[in-house]
Amino acid sequence: MSDTDIMAENDSERAPGDAGLMIRNAVAHDLPVVIALDERNTGIPKPDYWRDMFERFGTGREGRYFLVAESKGQVVGFIIGEIRAWEFGSPPCGWIFALTVNPDIRLGRIGTQMFNAICGCFKAAGVTKVRTMTSRDDLTVLSFFRSQGMMAGPSIQLELDLDE
């Protein structure tokens, strides 16, 4: 995969009617759109969080990926992930922890193309598994990842409420 552009591998991975979709590495001037897309989808403005995420994942550090989908000159989605290794004995694998598509065009296979692109980055780096974590109540995200072939993995999330 090129460091500057990560295109859909073939036309079957392109969104119907949108042969110009390009998946590429995020750059600093993409941040306002990333911030706006996230706020539109979550209802919570988090500009400082996204600036920090860009600094951590959008600056070309090995094993970290911040990709955007661009159509007709406009950013219409983003995906972020990294390669993590040896957490509680787990071999290196790719982790996806952010994925957003403009809700007006959400059913156009853009998420699938971004998923395929980041998986290609992970595979090129030598990992053979990809993981993510989502709320069991977030049926949209859960359905998307299941449609990509993902299923329950070997880990169990545990948590503790620190306010009690």
* pLDDT less than 50: residues of the chain: 1-5, 7-18
- 3 state SS of 107: coil
Contacts 24+ apart (CB under 8 A), 86-89: 88/155
Q: Measure the CA angle with vertex 24, ends 102 and 110; round to 5°.
A: 35
pTM: 0.83
Q: Measure the CA angle with vertex 115, ends 27 and 51; round to 5°.
A: 30
Angle between helices 47-57 and 31-42 (to 10 degrees): 130
Contact 22, 69 (CB under 8 A): yes
CA distance 145 to 80: 14
- Give tens-digit pLDDT for 126-140: 999 999 998 889 898
**pLDDT for the residue 19:** 58
Class of domain 5-147: alpha beta
The full set of domain ranges for the chain reads 5-147
**pLDDT for the residue 15:** 41
